[in-house]
Amino acid sequence: MSSDRGVTCSACGATTPLPDDLLVPTFACAFCHGTLSTAAHAGEAAVSADALVGHIERLAADPKAAMANLDESVRSAPRFEGGSREHREGTCVHCRAPVAVPLDLAVRELTCGACGRAQFVREHISDEERFRLDMARQVAGNEAYERLLAEGLACPKCGGHNPVPDDGSVQLICKFCRAAILLSDHVDESAIARHRLKHGVYAVRDELMRQQQGRQRTIGIAVAVIVVVVLGALIAANLLAGGS
């Protein structure tokens, strides 16, 4: 399995782990101390999952204020970048030149490279078909991820078999040779990011439960805010894009 976009340092070629906090925009190679981009290595989707969890943590710190401004709480949520990266071949509706039609539900328009004119994606593929394709993509990604959790994976460097923890990690360190292994080299990165988001949201909820034992009403409000914001962000990214 290739790991050409993995945690191989672009400066010195050594294998270096990602930072635990994916929201730091850059991190240093453990060997040559060169500066590396977190998003380029961890994937935009995982970074956006952490940004959304950070937003929820801030809201959960003051759930009554978040509830009082629920519209703003939802609107200011960072976008979850878990959409499809795939395209389908099409022809421009104006000049008939070939165009790449994005299957990411959050993208509504495309611009023809030949004539420069904009057109709606739904002039090429219906919202219903795109939605169906995206559901199939997400289900396939989740199944591959579940298989990875169940079976573990072989280290690309030494071949040693490693278990994959179900904790939303984006990488693991080989227990035999200490190489950093990126899970997105083995399964779709948006499936990893969805699980990372789920684990992050559960962690915020569990922390609330611990801190606020006996303050049932506040917890109830906080959990309601979390649900609304997460659903809002997922819907904005994936489900309602075809509208207007």
Q: Which residues lie near Zn ion (CB under 5 A)?
A: 9, 11-12, 14, 29, 31-32, 34, 92, 94-95, 97, 112, 114-115, 155, 157-158, 160, 174, 176-177, 179
Q: What burial letters (b/e) apply to 179-206, b meaning 16+ CB within 10 Å?
A: bbbbbbbbbbbbbbbbbbbeebbeebbe
Least Cβ distance, residue 75 to Zn ion (angstroms): 34
Closest CB to Zn ion among residues 22, 174:
174
Which stretches within 152-212 are classed as H helix?
189-211
Least Cβ distance, residue 231 to Zn ion (angstroms): 37
Closest CB to Zn ion among residues 95, 227:
95
> Encoding tokens for residue 126?
């219906």
Whether the CB-CB separation of 83 and 237 falls below 8 Å is answered with yes
Closest CB to Zn ion among residues 32, 135:
32
Least Cβ distance, residue 148 to Zn ion (angstroms): 16
Least Cβ distance, residue 178 to Zn ion (angstroms): 7
Closest CB to Zn ion among residues 114, 227:
114
How many residues appear in the chain? Answer: 244
CB atoms within 10 A of CB 49: 31
CB atoms within 10 A of CB 29: 20
